[in-house]
Amino acid sequence: MGGGHPFHKTRSEKLNSLQRMAYLLMHLLFAPLIWVSGLLLLFYTSWSIIGLNGFSLETVSYVHTGAAFAILTLLIAHLYLALTMSNNFADLKAMITGYQEE
């Protein structure tokens, strides 16, 4: 138990496979859902003009709220890991600045 890191960072590969999948899911699913559902909610009164009468306000609201909670969960997990896995807040600094000291 405790035999070192299973993944070693290189200049071309900074993220492990789980991190890559999480960011891919964030960028390809949750972010577009937030934008599209947010714009639909913003222009709710124009749905009939655009031809979106088949949409339900309740469904669009649930999709928007679900995507927001998913993004919030990702943020909370990031903060938890950055604050508990580092003694000197180096991971939190790297999360904010984008650069990690070796």
DSSP state letters, 78-98: HHHHHHHS-SSSHHHHHHHHS
Residue 9 is assigned to a structural domain of this protein = no
Residue 10 is assigned to a structural domain of this protein = no
- The structural domain count of the chain equals 1
CB contact at 8 A, 71 and 26: yes
Residue 1 is assigned to a structural domain of this protein = no
Task: Give CA 49 to chain center in angstroms.
Answer: 33
Residue 35 is assigned to a structural domain of this protein = yes
pLDDT of residue 22: 84
Rounded distance between C-alpha atoms, residue 89 and residue 85, angstroms: 9
Q: What is the pLDDT of residues 8-49, one digit of tens each?
A: 666 667 777 777 888 888 899 999 999 999 999 999 999 888
Residue 1 has pLDDT above 60, yes or no: no
Rounded distance between C-alpha atoms, residue 83 and residue 78, angstroms: 8
CB contact at 8 A, 67 and 33: yes
